[in-house]
Amino acid sequence: MAPPEVTGKKTTTTSSNRAKLGHNRGPPLDDDGPKYRRRPVSADANSLAMSIRKFCRLHGISEDQFFKMQREKWGPVTMKVGSRTLISAEAAAEWRRECEANRRDKPEEHAPSHT
């Protein structure tokens, strides 16, 4: 059979010279990792006021849960400083006290034991 250069047919790739999966998608990757990294939110418990994100990080709740609490009117008191929404340390402490008081007033019903 005549070589493809003579016949004008396209050459077919064989498995040996085919690109490996992932090697032909996008620019080549460096071994150093991503060029930019997201800076983690540093939550300082001693700050006088905190953003919603820092409040959520300190209290172990999601931002969605925070906004649900605000809609249902049992979230912490917020304040606007320019375009930012902040929660003072006092408001956070008051919210925690109210949550603890509500917890003591309404103890959680325990599931019946399976005996």
CB atoms within 10 A of CB 61: 14
Residue ranges, the chain, pLDDT below 70:
1, 11-36, 38-41, 108-115
State the pLDDT at residue 111. Answer: 47
State the pLDDT at residue 8. Answer: 74
Residue 98 backbone class (left: φ over 0; alpha: ψ -120 to 50; beta: rest): alpha
Q: Which of 65, 89, 69 is nearest to 79 (CA)?
A: 89
State the pLDDT at residue 86. Answer: 97
Residue 2 domain flag: no
Domain total for the chain? 1
State the pLDDT at residue 28. Answer: 60
DSSP-derived 3-state class of residue 4: helix
Residue 94 domain flag: yes
| Residue ranges making up the domain that contains 54 | 49-105
Q: Is the pTM higher than 0.85?
A: no
State the pLDDT at residue 13. Answer: 59
Which residues, at least 6 apart from 45, have a Cβ–Cβ distance to it below 8 Å?
Answer: 58
State the pLDDT at residue 27. Answer: 63
State the pLDDT at residue 63. Answer: 95
State the pLDDT at residue 94. Answer: 96
Residue 58 domain flag: yes
Look up residue 83 and give its amino acid.
Answer: S
Residue 31 domain flag: no
**DSSP track, 41-82:** PP--TT-SEEEHHHHHHHHT--HHHHHHHHHTT-S---EEET
Residue 69 domain flag: yes
Residue 41 domain flag: no
Please give the helix or strand (H or E) that residue 94 lies within, else none: helix 89-105
